[in-house]
Homo-oligomer: A and B are copies of this chain.
């Protein structure tokens, strides 16, 4: 075990100590190590998205390993390009490290990046390091559309079917268990769902190929993200109660919720970080696996609840405005 902290090494020495841990991708033309990397973009366009994780906000070093942080930083970014219908090709990472950060933690984080990226052929093609007061992991991911039209949030039309691929709630349950300190031996799966989410990556390009009219990654909770899609598309999303349409998740959540005194429906509707894909398809489209029907797109105005027309951006659950707090995660407002 490496007992050094990053302050014991120069920047060049630190980089040299971990660069071999990072995967070269199948699209990497010039790997990390020069002023910039060069990545293949056979489509003639590339998708790009960036996400930042901050110690004490998105992760705690006593909740999981450096590898968990590396995995999650990559996973949530990769989900964003998948949600456009693209296949991920390359990531770069900027890393802020307090001087006392163990070198072993940094190496472990690189291993976590590699564990999710290498099997997908994604290269870790560049990075930058700085000292700072808390660990910050800023990842930028790129994807190739392979000739597909990018699937935007704004394309849902009245009459379309709403569908979801992936899980809803387990990451929020895992977060609640970690935060409460009441994590039991049977909770490993839920805790792992938070520490190492497995986005519905293949579902993105499959949905694009199947003719999805709109799509997005569910990262801030179903209600909040569905509201964003509805607003961008100027529609109302009329969803069934997801616990009736996604029964596997509820079975996994019920036990933890009972012990925590929580309503599992709150995790399902407002829990973020599961990184499933929410998409809309023209009525009659055979839904590609693993999408499950979640509801219907309605025109705003035409659709009334208790005699009131609902504006664009509204999300209905079981025909009603949901009772749970629907804001989901917000970094600034408290």
User: Size of chain A's interface in residues, with CB distance under 8 A?
Assistant: 78
Contact with A150, one of B30, B90, B129, B133 (Cβ below 8 angstroms): B30
Task: Output the least CB separation between A215 and chain B (Å).
Answer: 8
Which residues on B sit within 8 Å (CB–CB) of A83?
35-36
Query: Is A21's CB within 8 Å of the partner chain B?
Result: no
Query: Is A19's CB within 8 Å of the partner chain B?
Result: no
How far is it, in angstroms, between the C-alpha of A81 and the C-alpha of B45 when the chains are bound? 17
Which residues on B sit within 8 Å (CB–CB) of A39?
45-48
How far is it, in angstroms, between the C-alpha of A29 and the C-alpha of B152 when the chains are bound? 12
Contact with A45, one of B38, B45, B138 (Cβ below 8 angstroms): B38
Scoring A residues 139 to 161 as 1 if CB is less than 8 Å from chain B, else 0, what string do you get?
A: 01111010000101110000000
A54 pairs with B331, CB closer than 8 A: no
Task: Output the least CB separation between A76 and chain B (Å).
Answer: 10
A331 pairs with B129, CB closer than 8 A: yes
Which residues on B sit within 8 Å (CB–CB) of A127?
50
Which residues on B sit within 8 Å (CB–CB) of A134?
132-134
A7-B333 CB under 8 A given contacts A92-B140, A138-B94, A142-B48: yes
Which residues on B sit within 8 Å (CB–CB) of A179?
none
B11 pairs with A126, CB closer than 8 A: no
Copies in the complex: 2
Task: Output the least CB separation between A229 and chain B (Å).
Answer: 10
B40 pairs with A44, CB closer than 8 A: yes
A132 pairs with B57, CB closer than 8 A: yes
Query: Is A167's CB within 8 Å of the partner chain B?
Result: no
Query: Is A250's CB within 8 Å of the partner chain B?
Result: no
A41 pairs with B41, CB closer than 8 A: yes
Query: Is A96's CB within 8 Å of the partner chain B?
Result: yes
Which residues on B sit within 8 Å (CB–CB) of A51?
94, 128
B54 pairs with A132, CB closer than 8 A: yes
B46 pairs with A41, CB closer than 8 A: yes
Contact with A54, one of B41, B49, B96, B154 (Cβ below 8 angstroms): B96
Contact with A92, one of B48, B79, B232 (Cβ below 8 angstroms): B48
Query: Is A110's CB within 8 Å of the partner chain B?
Result: no
A50 pairs with B126, CB closer than 8 A: yes
30 A-B contact pairs sorted by A residue (CB < 8 Å): A6-B332, A10-B330, A29-B45, A30-B84, A34-B84, A34-B153, A35-B81, A35-B83, A36-B48, A36-B81, A36-B86, A38-B45, A41-B41, A41-B44, A41-B46, A44-B44, A48-B90, A48-B92, A50-B92, A50-B127, A50-B138, A52-B94, A52-B128, A52-B129, A52-B136, A57-B131, A94-B94, A94-B140, A97-B332, A131-B332
20 further A-B pairs in the complex, CB-CB below 8 A; given A36-B81, A50-B126 = A11-B332, A34-B152, A34-B216, A35-B80, A35-B84, A37-B47, A37-B49, A38-B145, A40-B44, A41-B41, A41-B45, A50-B94, A50-B138, A54-B130, A56-B133, A96-B136, A99-B332, A129-B331, A132-B136, A138-B138
Instruction: List A residues at the B interface (Cβ < 8 Å).
Output: 6-7, 9-12, 14, 29-30, 33-54, 56-58, 79-81, 83-84, 86, 90, 92-97, 99, 125-134, 136, 138, 140-143, 145, 150, 152-154, 215-217, 232, 330-334
